[in-house]
Chains A and B, each alone.
Chain A
């Protein structure tokens, strides 16, 4: 039998950690990336990586609570066994990265320093300055270079994944890809294909994501038959710096240190911000949330900023949506000492000193909780079976998904500093399963398959490529269509979602897709043609844009990042104790009924007509029973009380499967984090 081979698409944290671990297991790995792997999007992550540590442990923390925070933060939409496995692996992941030389910040005694992040009570986040993602990526990049030097790993940088090669049984036997320099299209036989290709920020036009985050690889896998799950769950970060080319993150710490968000009361007041008196400024977060002020939870801040600009028309600028994030009232010395790093970023990109002039910020699409559907094998203790070939495998045998392009770990909403963890964890954890898979290949290795299988797949992509180059010079411009798609998606499918708008957006996406089919190329050459590569990526954005939009349209509830005001759970205002009790009971009834209906993964498949077909799949919530997220809701106390009584009552009677009820554990964490 020929020696089996693994192909990994994507050289970010997930792809690199998988490469490194597979190389250690003695397997030959091909690693393919659109960019030199050291330039992958993972470098943009700033905050840190979560893991229970010795200190938090002594404060009562443990892996179970990390699991609890993650599924509570995700509004219980994750299957819990993979999340449990990740939480229990997290300390090992951080230890390994430490050994690989990551320049983590240190305590004065020389231990890893930790900071506290959103959605938890513990200081669980290890970090390396404000560039944790970059530092982690570099450590993995270095290890992979070491294996490249020893001949175990072959890199294909500046290559574009065009699609998997599937055999007659529908199993994955490799892929077809295109060299971005020479434009050569080649088939690569592989016995396992791993996609670690990140998110699809570019379907929203501009986002906090890098230029390679088009989602094209995931889309091509989807169009070849892979299931795509929870596509509608898109995290929008409240504060980003709008730019003509991309939206850059502005850390939450700016508000943590006293930054105030406001807009002029007079719409698009032309005066300089410092000339607008206090009385004519609208500090809308402080006015609406006197208790939390500018530090309301992320999703609320995002929604309010979005509303004040769109619904209320109070954007600072006429042609662009933004609000002021003002630090100018704070002493320069404090700003330099505590926020120096992030203020320099603003200054570098805006050419304006935020110590003197308020920053202009707006929410931006930041992370995709959804992605390619992936499997797992549950162990007896509620984690995963190590070495199972099912772990991270898509519904296409032999094709795997890891990192952000896999849907499994963040449910309806991702906690900060959990993404770096899920990327590295899935990369490491998938490797022994791949080894098992390679030892049990049902019909021989890919190299033993008839060469016609690969030649046919290659030729099909070659023909598509040439047809695109040969298109008549039409009137449609792919770059402008991309801008329009971004506008439609950003306006209708981000922060606040309404069914009429979603329906309309879906129509517009379909029209844009038809127009894109007529878009012609301004470069028809066969050498480093970025025009044709972009146009292909653009066409592959539509299937995912439809998955996101249709999933959002069909899901008539609020969960995590998915917010539909029409279906929001009501607050309880009444003071009358009997009435309060009655309303809380009704609230909990409604919550349970809603979970029965909607606590399900959205599963999209690519239909024969090119439209996504949506169905739903039960979620394994057997470890931690779902409970209401009540943060900031008026009447939370009485709802929580009723809910706890019900949970206690349920402990004496058996569970009824999916949804609201489950096996409660004695160790139930508080609902109000």
Chain B
């Protein structure tokens, strides 16, 4: 049971009462954002997802004004899919593991929900994170197998190697590390007049590829370069990290590792990747 500052439990204090939820809303890309206040009846075992579900069902503000439901992204609600990432009381996290009792014990005034700031808002709390997945393409985050016919088992691997790789492979591309990173900034382009959708996509992708790739993708390079088969193409992934927006952009603020919900050792990965890039550059220098 979570206790509030004066000793009584949050459940005791709030049962039968309402609490305030302030949501930073935005009707669409390029539109102004605005705060909206909702009142939600306290229930036990609530998380921010269930708060948003109640808000959707109520579809009115605390003043009784009818409004459309707040839009948000979610799926598994078990903190394994990464969808419901948002900024809750100033901290980037998954809405599913943001427990109301804990939030109210930290701040009995209510709960404040904002969309992530490093990605373009599609609507309300729902943001466009395609750039996160694009980064996985840039670093070729996959094992380049010959094909999917039966070729027998994969390479044998030690327990120690599995224990190194397993934490890295839990990255759910949620974007927390990017939201917290001072070097990662928002890229929001708008389609020009007479620009085709395909041309716009290409321009957008080019902009993403120029800018900082982020901790998650650097860590994926380590994940694949440490795999016996993945290692065969390690150079291609390291090459991607030496290009514009690569590992050199990291300013070592170490915010990423502090906010990662899966506690992935991101800074260790960045250090490893940094060393690999140095070795790669020196080797290339002598090859010339």
A305 to B281 CA separation, bound complex (whole angstroms): 63
Tell me whether B151 is interfacial, beta carbon within 8 Å.
yes
Q: Please state if B148 and A479 are interface contacts (CB–CB under 8 Å).
A: no
B49 to chain A: closest residue by CB: A245
0/1 interface trace, chain B 110-133, chain A, CB 8 Å (1 if under): 000000000000110010010001
Q: Please state if B230 and A351 are interface contacts (CB–CB under 8 Å).
A: no
Tell me whether A267 is interfacial, beta carbon within 8 Å.
no
With A101-B143, A106-B159 known as contacts, the answer to whether A428 contacts B153 (CB < 8 A) is no
Q: Please state if B166 and A479 are interface contacts (CB–CB under 8 Å).
A: no
B127 to chain A, nearest CB (A): 11
A521 to B151 CA separation, bound complex (whole angstroms): 54
B147 to chain A, nearest CB (A): 5
0/1 interface trace, chain B 223-252, chain A, CB 8 Å (1 if under): 010010110000000000000000000000
0/1 interface trace, chain B 207-236, chain A, CB 8 Å (1 if under): 000000000000000001001011000000
0/1 interface trace, chain A 4-43, chain B, CB 8 Å (1 if under): 0000000000000000110010000000000110111101
Tell me whether B172 is interfacial, beta carbon within 8 Å.
yes
Q: Please state if B172 and A38 are interface contacts (CB–CB under 8 Å).
A: yes
- Could you say which of B102, B144, B153, B169 contacts A112, with CB atoms under 8 Å apart? B153
Q: Please state if B69 and A522 are interface contacts (CB–CB under 8 Å).
A: yes
CB contacts (< 8 Å) of B140 on chain A: these are 146, 149
A95 to chain B: closest residue by CB: B153
B61 to chain A, nearest CB (A): 12
A37 to B57 CA separation, bound complex (whole angstroms): 27
Q: Please state if A210 and B148 are interface contacts (CB–CB under 8 Å).
A: no
- Could you say which of B28, B44, B47, B53 contacts A528, with CB atoms under 8 Å apart? B28
Tell me whether B206 is interfacial, beta carbon within 8 Å.
no
CB contacts (< 8 Å) of B227 on chain A: these are 101
Stretch binding the partner chain, chosen from B74-82, B187-195, B270-278: B74-82
Tell me the count of chain A residues lying within 8 A, CB to CB, of chain B: 70
CB contacts (< 8 Å) of A149 on chain B: these are 137, 140
A618 to B137 CA separation, bound complex (whole angstroms): 48
CB contacts (< 8 Å) of A108 on chain B: these are 159
B122 to chain A, nearest CB (A): 6
With A138-B169, A522-B59 known as contacts, the answer to whether A96 contacts B148 (CB < 8 A) is yes
Q: Please state if A244 and B43 are interface contacts (CB–CB under 8 Å).
A: yes
Please report which residues of chain A, range 80-137, place their CB below 8 angstroms from some CB of chain B when the two chains form the complex.
92, 95-96, 98-101, 103-112, 128-129, 131, 134-135
- Could you say which of A24, A39, A211, A349 contacts B148, with CB atoms under 8 Å apart? A24
With A41-B76, A243-B47 known as contacts, the answer to whether A98 contacts B97 (CB < 8 A) is no
CB contacts (< 8 Å) of B137 on chain A: these are 145, 148-149
- Could you say which of A107, A112, A350 contacts B45, with CB atoms under 8 Å apart? A350
**Chain B's interface: helix, strand, loop or mixed, by majority?**
loop
A147 to chain B: closest residue by CB: B142
0/1 interface trace, chain A 495-537, chain B, CB 8 Å (1 if under): 0000000000000000000000000001101011111000000
A551 to B151 CA separation, bound complex (whole angstroms): 43
- Could you say which of B81, B145, B161 contacts A99, with CB atoms under 8 Å apart? B145
Tell me whether A44 is interfacial, beta carbon within 8 Å.
yes
Q: Please state if A95 and B150 are interface contacts (CB–CB under 8 Å).
A: yes
A36 to B134 CA separation, bound complex (whole angstroms): 12
B70 to chain A, nearest CB (A): 9
A530 to B159 CA separation, bound complex (whole angstroms): 45
With A351-B99, A479-B57 known as contacts, the answer to whether A244 contacts B47 (CB < 8 A) is yes
CB contacts (< 8 Å) of B166 on chain A: these are 103, 128-129
B85 to chain A, nearest CB (A): 11
Q: Please state if A101 and B224 are interface contacts (CB–CB under 8 Å).
A: yes
Q: Please state if B141 and A105 are interface contacts (CB–CB under 8 Å).
A: no
Q: Please state if B27 and A43 are interface contacts (CB–CB under 8 Å).
A: no
CB contacts (< 8 Å) of B142 on chain A: these are 101, 142-143, 145-146
Tell me whether B165 is interfacial, beta carbon within 8 Å.
yes
- Could you say which of A145, A211, A245 contacts B136, with CB atoms under 8 Å apart? A145
A146 to B138 CA separation, bound complex (whole angstroms): 10
Q: Please state if A145 and B45 are interface contacts (CB–CB under 8 Å).
A: no
CB contacts (< 8 Å) of A44 on chain B: these are 76, 78, 80-81
Interface centre among B77, B83, B97 (most CB of A within 10 A): B77
B161 to chain A: closest residue by CB: A106
Tell me whether B32 is interfacial, beta carbon within 8 Å.
no
A148 to B150 CA separation, bound complex (whole angstroms): 23
With A142-B142, A528-B28 known as contacts, the answer to whether A245 contacts B169 (CB < 8 A) is no
Tell me whether A221 is interfacial, beta carbon within 8 Å.
no
Additional 14 contacts, C-beta under 8 A, given A106-B162, A134-B170, A345-B78: A36-B133, A39-B172, A41-B81, A44-B78, A95-B151, A143-B145, A210-B77, A246-B77, A248-B78, A350-B99, A351-B99, A477-B57, A528-B71, A531-B59
Closest 6 CB pairs of A and B: A522-B59, A523-B68, A98-B154, A142-B142, A110-B156, A244-B50
Interchain residue pairs with CB less than 8 A apart (24):
A36-B173, A38-B172, A39-B81, A39-B82, A39-B83, A43-B76, A44-B78, A44-B80, A98-B154, A99-B229, A101-B142, A101-B230, A103-B166, A107-B159, A111-B156, A131-B80, A134-B170, A143-B143, A146-B144, A211-B75, A351-B99, A357-B1, A527-B28, A528-B122
